Structure 1
């Protein structure tokens, strides 16, 4: 699942990223995720379905609550 999450990010696929994050969240318990993020369970289901349009703040809250990290890297330069 993490590979698909990374692939969606690499391909600039926001809907795919949200959907894969939602798949991970479902495995961990959406009810617990709602408690940990302070967001409504139904709102999370919709936001992470791949059909929703979650805010970046929501994505960050979910990533943090799942114990994941989002890293930014500069592309490698060839000489």
Structure 2
């Protein structure tokens, strides 16, 4: 008997603002720009990529490319996507100065 498995898709479980917040907080903790962009792509798929396309004025294909983790989106693009998704960005000064 063979067990069939399906790939995990985080977009399927990002069904609340709290889940999105925790998911994105974990992405930002990595400090990996490609991973952060890819994580935004997951949130975008969970929230409706077509609607995001309308709100940002970018094509769906441009969004998929920018948020794939393979591209190198401009910071302005990331900020535009985050704003459309209702995600903010706030500076935090670490208490441990070596952590920066």
Q: TM-score, normalised by structure 2?
A: 0.70
Where structure 1 has 5 or more consecutive residues not aligned to the other structure, the ranges are none
Q: Is the 1:18–1:47 contact (alpha carbons within 8 Å) kept by the matching residues of 2?
A: yes
Runs of 4+ in 1 over 6 A off after TM superposition: none
1:73 paired to 2:67: no
User: Which structure carries more relative contact order (alpha carbon 8 Å, separation 6+)?
Assistant: 1
Match of 1:46 in 2: 65
Q: TM-score, normalised by structure 1?
A: 0.87
Match of 2:78 in 1: 59
Match of 2:41 in 1: 22
Q: Considering only aligned residues, what root-mean-square deviation do their CA atoms show, in Å?
A: 1.6
Q: Is the 1:5–1:16 contact (alpha carbons within 8 Å) kept by the matching residues of 2?
A: no
Q: Distance in 1 between matches of 2:28 and 2:46?
A: 20
> SS of 2:52's equivalent?
helix
Structure 1 residue 23: Cα displacement: 0.2
Where structure 2 has 5 or more consecutive residues not aligned to the other structure, the ranges are 1-19
